[in-house]
Amino acid sequence: MANSKFEYVKAFERDDRILPSTWIVVRIDGRGFHKFTERHGFTKPNDARALHLMNAVAMEVVKDLPDIVLSYGISDEYSFVLKRNTTLFERRESKIVTTIVSNFTANYIYMWPDYFPETKLQRPLPTFDGRAVPYPTTHILRDYMRWRQVDAHINNLYNTTFWALIQQGGMTAAEAEKELAHTLSADKNEILFSRFGINYNKEDEMYKKGSVIFREFEKGKEVDGGEDVPDERMTKSQLEKRKKAYKKSQIVVRFVDIMNDPFYDERPWILGTAKE
C-alpha cells in the first residue's frame, strides 16, 4: 500500500494475536444450512454425498495449512486444531479464521459438482462462518474434541430416530418431535429396534462418530506435528526433515473414537506426549 497522509487510519486496527503456546481451534459452521439442504434435496437424516464433500473440502484445507494437526467434522460443521506453537500468520486471529473459512468455502463450491453431479447449486449459496478459540492445555483440548463427538452422537441418534418415525412410521415432524421429547438414549435405541428393526450400532460409522482427519506416517518415519517446538527454534535440517516426512505422510479421514486415549497414544505426533 502506498504512503499517504490518510494512512493514520491503519492505527485503528487491533493487534489480534492469539495467546502464544495455546492450542487454537477454528470451528466453522454452515450458515442457514437447514434451508440449504432442503432446497438442494439432501437425504435425511444423513446425506452421504454431503458428508463426503465436507471431508474432501476439509482435506484441501489441511493440505494448504500443514500446521493443522487434527480436524473433526459433523453435519455442517468442521473443527480444525492448529498445533500449540503454530506461528501461522503470527497467530493473528482474523487472518487465521478468515483464511480457513475462505479456503473451505472456495473448495465447497468448487467441488460441489463432483459430489452432486445432478444437482446444480442455487442461490443463496452455501457459506460458512467461523471462530477461533485458544485452549491452554492438552487436557482441555481433548475435552473440546469429546464435546464435539458427544454432540455428534446425541444429535445423530436423535435424528436417526426422528426421521425413522417420519419416513417409516408415517408421523409428521411435530408428532415425531413430541414422541421424542424427554426420551433417553436407551429409549431411542429401543424405538429404532422394536418399531423399525434398526440396530443403531450397525449404522454407518461416519454418521455415528463423525469424521476425523489427521496425518499417518510410515512406521518409523513419524514426525511430531503438535510438538512444543515452534518452527523458529528448529534447525534448518530439522525443518527439512519434517518437510520430507510430511510429503511422504498421508492425510487420512477416519470415523473413529477420539474420546479416549488410544487414538492419541497410538499417534503421539498429533498432540504430543505431554500429559496435562
Binding residues for a second copy, rule: CB under 8 A, are 1-2, 4, 6-15, 17, 19-22, 28, 31, 64, 93-95, 97-99, 101-110, 121, 124-137, 140, 143-144, 146-147, 150-151, 154-155, 274, 276
H-run or E-run covering 26: strand 23-30
CB closer to a second copy out of 136 and 262: 136
52 is in an annotated binding site: no
Query: How far, in Å, CA of 148 to CA of 206, rounded?
Result: 14
CB closer to a second copy out of 126 and 226: 126
CB closer to a second copy out of 157 and 192: 157
**What is the closest distance, in whole angstroms, from the C-beta atom of residue 142 to a second copy in the complex?**
9
Query: How far, in Å, CA of 183 to CA of 97, rounded?
Result: 38
**What is the closest distance, in whole angstroms, from the C-beta atom of residue 30 to a second copy in the complex?**
10
**What is the closest distance, in whole angstroms, from the C-beta atom of residue 26 to a second copy in the complex?**
10
185 is in an annotated binding site: no
CB closer to a second copy out of 217 and 234: 234
**What is the closest distance, in whole angstroms, from the C-beta atom of residue 150 to a second copy in the complex?**
4
CB closer to a second copy out of 127 and 183: 127
Q: Where are the alpha helices (DSSP H) in 86-233?
A: 93-115, 138-167, 173-180, 185-196, 205-209
**What is the closest distance, in whole angstroms, from the C-beta atom of residue 51 to a second copy in the complex?**
18
**What is the closest distance, in whole angstroms, from the C-beta atom of residue 32 to a second copy in the complex?**
11
CA distances from 165 to 38, 159, 179, 201 (A): 19, 10, 9, 18
- Are the C-beta atoms of 52 and 115 separated by less than 8 Å? yes
CB closer to a second copy out of 151 and 222: 151
Query: Residues 6 or more apart from 84 whose CB is under 8 A from it?
Result: 21, 22, 23, 138, 226, 228, 272
272 is in an annotated binding site: no
Query: How far, in Å, CA of 79 to CA of 148, rounded?
Result: 9
75 is in an annotated binding site: yes
143 is in an annotated binding site: no
30 is in an annotated binding site: yes
| Strand 77-82, strand 23-30: pairing | antiparallel
Output Rg (C-alpha) for the chain, integer angstroms.
21
Backbone angles phi, psi at 142, to 5 degrees: -60, -40
- Specify binding-site residues: 29-34, 75-76
- Specify binding-site residues for GTP: 29-34, 75-76
- Specify binding-site residues for Mg(2+): 29-30, 76
